[in-house]
Structure 1
Amino acid sequence: MRPIVDLTLTYTNDFIGFSKEISKTIDADGWNASTLTFYSHCGTHMDAPIHFNVSKQTIDHIPVTDFVGRAWVVDVRHIGSKGLINPEHIPQKIKDEFVAGDSLIFWTDWSQYANTPKYRDELPRISKDLALWCVSKKVKMIGVEPPSVADVNNLDEVTKIHQILLQGVVIIEGLTNIDALQTNCVELIALPLKIGDGDGAPARVIAIEKYL
């Protein structure tokens, strides 16, 4: 069996944008249940084109075939705080083997800062050139560790990068545990909650190693 690695952050009550409250208990009701409250773009989540009005496509209408495929892991840990990730940061070997429909995961080690001001305010981000490159190369999914592919404190930038990517690229934000991967080529599976008319949704994201 091929190794399977979970790339999903764990939702707890310490997590910004999420709460879990007791709804039912065994003693009082006969079973345990919870009431969950999510911000649609908290934790490990995926964006739909309607998030930035690129189109009217919502998360429940993205084809499930767009959620599975071969992905290349790009090590950009050297980029650092507020750095820009550019096409030249993708190794030539990956570019040579990349085919339309493949996906990219950018390893920044940024998930270590989750739920801190640095996580949101100093994130490394996708450059305009890289966003355009991804669209032109028909990248299926792009996965990042920070809570956004762009500077959330710069409305012009965050709008521009999302609007470019969402023309054809599925965006996954808030990944973690990339350092557990033993190879730079995996089968990526990212399944968002099927929320009607959703602008985005939490997702369970896994990587299956030794892609063949």
Structure 2
Amino acid sequence: VISHRVGTPEHTSTHMDAPYHFAKFAWKLDQIPFANLHGPGVVLDREKVKKTPPGEEATVDISDAEAWESKYGRIPKGAIVIMNSGWSKYWPDANKFVGSEDAFDPSKPTVYPGMSGDLAKWLLYNRDIVGVASDTISCDRGSDLEWPVHKILLPENIWCAEMVTNIDRIPVNGAELYFLPMKIREGSGAPARVFAVWKDKKEE
């Protein structure tokens, strides 16, 4: 018989921030309904952001969501909006990934792409989404020390997933995304398995 012991922080590698992470009254990880863990994928894939070098910052904002809608129509109900900055290519170089000369020194500023607080507000008040996701270490920009995206969305039971990879392999529209975190009792977050399902156009 083979058996191993596993230990991990909640917020590490590809993971989900439960709404409870920023709001004591919001859903804890084990309270999130399965219906809110999957939905139509809306990939905000901005070339300008993807060309941003380490140590510089770029923002995904309302104009990116509007540009997506101009091509594919209104963001569908129950959608998951995911930022594809191309940043996962810097992993596991921690200094490049967080845009700091010393990633393990909390006194050093971090610089990496993220969503704007204005985009978070726009999604909250104008669309009906279940979650947002990013391929960086946070849905907020590295310099946004007030965590606007987290503070706007999580108290409304809209979760945030971070350090998602291989986003380039899924279509920017037409995929069903699944975010399945470890079901930690009363958790503020957990490592998650993320996958997408879509119909290949060649099959049509």
Asked if these proteins are the same fold (TM beyond 0.5), I'd say: yes
1:198 aligns with 2:187: yes
2:78 corresponds in structure 1 to 101
Question: Kindly tell me: are residues 202 and 127 of structure 1, through their superposed partners in 2, closer, same or farther at Cα, counting changes over 3 Å?
Answer: same
1:114 corresponds in structure 2 to 91
Superposed displacement of residue 173, structure 1: 0.8
1:83 corresponds in structure 2 to 58
2:10 corresponds in structure 1 to 40
- How big is each residue's C-alpha offset from its partner over 1:159-196, in whole Å with a ceiling of 9 and x where there is no partner? x3201011232211111011122453200011111101
* Selected match of 1:155 from 145, 150, 164: 145
Q: What pairs with 1:4-43 in structure 2 (closer than 5 Å)?
A: 30-31=1-2, 33-43=3-13
* C-alpha distance in 1 between matches for 2:24 and 2:71: 29
Question: Kindly tell me: are residues 56 and 72 of structure 1, through their superposed partners in 2, closer, same or farther at Cα, counting changes over 3 Å?
Answer: closer
The structure where strand makes up a greater share of residues is: 1
| Count of matched residue positions in the alignment of Structure 1 and Structure 2 | 180
* Selected match of 1:170 from 156, 159, 175: 159
- How big is each residue's C-alpha offset from its partner over 1:64-101, in whole Å with a ceiling of 9 and x where there is no partner? 11011111222124222321111101223356232222
Q: Which moved more, 1:46-55 or 1:191-200?
A: 46-55
Structure 2 segments unaligned to the other structure (5+ residues):
99-109
TM-score (norm 2): 0.79
TM-score (norm 1): 0.77
Question: Kindly tell me: are residues 152 and 106 of structure 1, through their superposed partners in 2, closer, same or farther at Cα, counting changes over 3 Å?
Answer: closer
Deviation >6 Å, runs of 4+: none
Q: What is the RMSD computed on CA atoms of the aligned residues? A: 2.1
Structure 1 segments unaligned to the other structure (5+ residues):
1-29
